[in-house]
């Protein structure tokens, strides 16, 4: 009987050790993630910078592959289904495979901040604790894992992000797509001279404009105080560029259709994570951007311009971008820009 009891205790001990060792992959990943984020803090503490970081992508992708493989083989079975599911989902949020606004809504009651990295750190800690619980019980002691990320401020920096923060807007008022757009776009701005914040009412169930959708002025500042508006005194129907922006849910930057003044228009989400406002900014674009800086500001739009130029069997040269102001590159369609460049090249050939 004594031998049976002893062998049972030994079996339980080694089984608990084996379960605890399964958590090593989580501890190692959590440590790597923390080290990379802490290294990035020297340059930036911004959420969108982290989501776009290729080194973080590599670390997360390697872990995701191993984590998925172990779960498929029946390992990590001592981890609760909820924690395992949360980790799987959060691994997609932190690399931008899922929209960040979905994270804000889905984890509204659980998350400590706007960052999915914070929530992932918490879930990794829970998973490590769950896998360590059997060995802790045998050793009659509690173990706490403390490697992780600290809680961070939630707003990025830069001329546009700082301006929005000054009007009490946060990251959660932006879609992830618009957050990345603003991150690039603000590098092309030298000043914000005025603003008008509009309220949008009566969108349809899908958050799109309907025949009943209206727009009204909430507040103004700067040069916009001296400008007239058709909704100056009362709400009016949502029309034109602003209606298109609501319909697409995307930031517009370029020149105004009527007065050709440089503007940026940003759709802003409400507490229900649906568009409830539009911010119209009167801005100054930088006139001395290099071709490389314009490419960075344009993002994927540059690739579309480049590809369309190549269809004319014309080799690309970055100097083409020097001929067009950044506000035109941002505001005009790809076809219009390419047509303008081709006419310029034809003139040079003559």
Do 268 and 299 share a domain, yes or no?
no
Residues 48 and 102 both lie in one domain: yes
In a domain, 245, yes or no: yes
The Cα–Cα gap between 129 and 80 comes to 11
Nearest to 182 by CA among 270, 173, 328: 173
Co-location of 85 and 133 in the same domain: yes
**Structurally, how many domains does the chain consist of?**
3
Residues 119 and 71 occupy one common structural domain: yes
- List the structure tokens of 109: 């009651």
pLDDT for the residue numbered 59 = 92
The domain boundary, picked from 266, 285, 304, lies at 285
Kindly report the average pLDDT of the chain as a whole number: 82
Instruction: For residues 301-329, give the mean pLDDT.
Output: 90
Say yes or no: 194 and 248 in one domain: yes
Q: 151 in a domain, yes or no?
A: no
Examine the domain organization and report whether 205 and 312 are in the same domain: no
d(CA 322, CA 290): 7
| Each residue's pLDDT tens digit, 3-47 | 555 455 444 444 444 445 677 888 888 888 888 887 776 555 578
Going 37 to 39 to 44 to 49, the CA torsion angle's sign is negative
**Backbone Cα Rg of the chain:** 26
Could you report the per-residue pLDDT of 179-201, keeping only the tens digit for each? Answer: 889 999 999 999 999 999 999 99
Q: Residue 64 falls within a domain, yes or no?
A: yes
Asked whether residue 164 falls in the same domain as residue 184, the answer is: yes
Same domain, 198 and 100: no
Encoded tokens for 210: 């309907």
Shared domain check, 127 and 9: yes
Residues 344, 260, single domain; the answer is no
**Which of 140 and 133 is assigned the larger pLDDT?**
133
pLDDT of 261 higher than 80? yes
The reply to whether 147 falls in a domain is: no
Interval 297-317 mean pLDDT: 90
**What CATH number is associated with residue 164?**
3.30.450
Q: Where in the sequence is the domain holding 296, given as residue range(s)? A: 291-349
């Amino acid at each position: 009987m004594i031998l049976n009891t002893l062998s049972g205790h030994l079996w339980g001990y080694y089984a608990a050790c084996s379960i605890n060792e399964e958590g090593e992959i989580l501890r190692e990943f959590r440590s790597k993630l923390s080290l990379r984020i802490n290294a990035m803090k020297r340059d930036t503490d911004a959420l969108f910078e982290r989501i776009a970081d290729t080194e973080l992508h590599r670390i997360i992708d390697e872990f995701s592959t191993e984590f998925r493989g172990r779960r498929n083989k029946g390992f990590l079975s001592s981890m609760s289904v909820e924690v395992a599911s949360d980790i799987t989902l959060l691994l997609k949020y932190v690399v931008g495979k899922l929209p960040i606004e979905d994270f804000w809504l889905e984890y509204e009651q659980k998350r400590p901040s706007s960052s999915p990295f914070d929530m992932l750190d918490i879930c990794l800690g829970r998973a490590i604790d769950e896998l360590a619980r059997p060995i802790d019980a045998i050793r009659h002691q509690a173990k706490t894992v403390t490697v992780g990320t600290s809680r961070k401020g939630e707003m990025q920096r830069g001329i546009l992000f700082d301006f929005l923060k000054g009007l009490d807007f946060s990251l959660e008022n932006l879609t992830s797509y618009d957050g990345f757009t603003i991150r690039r776009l603000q590098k092309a701005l030298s000043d914000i001279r005025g603003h008008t914040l509009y309220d949008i009412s009566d969108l349809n169930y899908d958050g799109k404009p309907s025949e009943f959708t209206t727009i009204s002025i909430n507040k103004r500042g700067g040069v916009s105080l001296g400008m007239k508006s058709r909704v100056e005194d009362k709400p009016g129907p949502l029309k034109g560029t602003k209606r298109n922006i609501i319909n697409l849910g995307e930031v517009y930057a370029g020149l105004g259709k009527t007065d050709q003044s440089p503007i940026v228009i940003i759709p802003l989400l409400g507490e229900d994570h649906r568009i409830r406002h539009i911010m119209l900014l009167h801005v100054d674009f930088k006139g001395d951007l290099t071709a490389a800086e314009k490419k960075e500001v344009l993002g994927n739009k540059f690739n579309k311009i480049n590809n369309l130029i190549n269809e004319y069997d014309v080799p690309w040269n970055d100097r083409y971008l020097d001929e067009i102001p950044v506000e035109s590159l941002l505001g005009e369609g790809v076809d219009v820009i390419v047509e303008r460049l081709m006419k310029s090249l034809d003139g040079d050939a003559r």
